[in-house]
A = this chain, B = another copy of it.
Amino acid sequence: MAGRRKTPIESEIIEPQSCTVHLRLHILKQLPFFKDLPDEAISQINALFRAEGCEAGKFIYFAGDPGVSLYVVAQGKIKLLRHAVTGQEVVLGILLPGEFFGSLPVLGEDTHPDTAQAHTTGCVLTITGDDFQKILQQYPGVSLAMLEIVSARLREAREIIHQLSASSVESRLAATLLKLASKLGKTQNDELLIQLPLSRQDLADMTGATVETISRTMSQFRKQKLIDSGRRWVAITDRDGLKEIAGL
Contacts and interface: CB of A to CB of B under 8 A. Distances in A.
A84 B161 CA distance: 11
Interface string A88-112: 1010100000000000001111000
A107 to B, nearest CB: 4
Interface in A105-122: 106-109, 113-114
A154 interface: yes
Interface string A148-172: 1011111101111110111100000
Interface in A65-84: 82, 84
Contacts of A38: none
Interface residues on A, range: 35 or more
Interface stretch (A42-50, A138-146, A235-243): A138-146
A63 to B, nearest CB: 10
- Chain copies in complex: 2
A92 B158 contact: yes
B108 A162 contact: no
A37 interface: no
A88 B166 contact: yes
Contact of A154 (B86, B144, B150): B150
A89 to B, nearest CB: 9
B164 A107 contact: no
A8 interface: no
Q: Majority SS of interface residues in chain A? A: helix
A211 interface: no
B136 A144 contact: yes
Contacts of A151: 107-109, 150
A199 to B, nearest CB: 17
Nearest to A63: B162
A129 interface: no
Contacts of A146: 147
Contact of A90 (B85, B114, B161): B161
A197 interface: no
A75 to B, nearest CB: 25
Interface string A198-233: 000000000110000000000000000000000000
Nearest to A144: B143
Contacts of A86: 166
A247 interface: yes
A162 to B, nearest CB: 5
Given A148-B107, A158-B92, A158-B114, A208 B140 contact: no
